[in-house]
Amino acid sequence: MTKPSNLASIEQATGRSWDDWVRLLDAANARNLVHRAIADIVHAELDGKTDNAGWWAQGVTVAYEQHIGRRVPGQVADGTFEVASSRTLAGSKEDVMALFEEAHSALSELNGTPIESSRLSGTDKRLYWKAELGDGSRSVVACEDKPGHKAMVVATQVKVASREQAESWRAFWKTRLAKL
């Protein structure tokens, strides 16, 4: 079932009611199409008619897949789950990543799951800490500068096997970020 909060945003951004989207996609046999093909249909409808057509095409497609029971909130197209927690702190992205590293560099596990490997990387815009875990999931922590000498840190857990595990990861990351 689609989350109602998504529907109002979709309708406002696309200028089309949710019932109209469902009729259009059902008429295009979208229930039998893969995610990419559905998104292509939606994008063709939105191109030139709304800002960020690609982004909204993904939003409509995910909502439709939830509507038809193909996925639940938090579930990605491959059937796994993804969750994220964030926090904004004083300092630069380098300062915040240093805090994160200090708190996490010596750990051999996260949320009871062994860390198989971890690495740091970055771009001009963001710094990343990424870890491959023993359960097949992956942790991605990103730090990005914000106005006012602040930085946002976002911890995302991807390739999580179940909704229950995703909620456990959400609580874990919320607690870890609160300690920075």
Q: How far apart are CA 106 and CA 3, in angstroms?
A: 39
Residue 166 · residue 83 · CB < 8 Å: yes
pLDDT (tens place) for every residue of the chain, 180 residues total: 656 567 999 999 999 999 999 999 999 999 999 999 999 999 999 999 998 999 999 999 999 999 998 988 889 888 999 999 999 999 999 999 999 999 988 899 999 999 999 999 999 999 999 999 999 999 999 999 999 999 999 999 999 999 999 999 999 999 999 999
Q: What is the pTM of this model?
A: 0.79
CATH superfamily of 81-178: START domain (3.30.530.20)
Residue 14 · residue 64 · CB < 8 Å: no
Q: How far apart are CA 120 and CA 38, in angstroms?
A: 35
Pairing relationship of beta strands 150-160 and 113-122 according to DSSP bridges: unpaired
**111 burial type by CB count under 10 A (0-12 exposed, 13-18 middle, 19+ buried):** middle
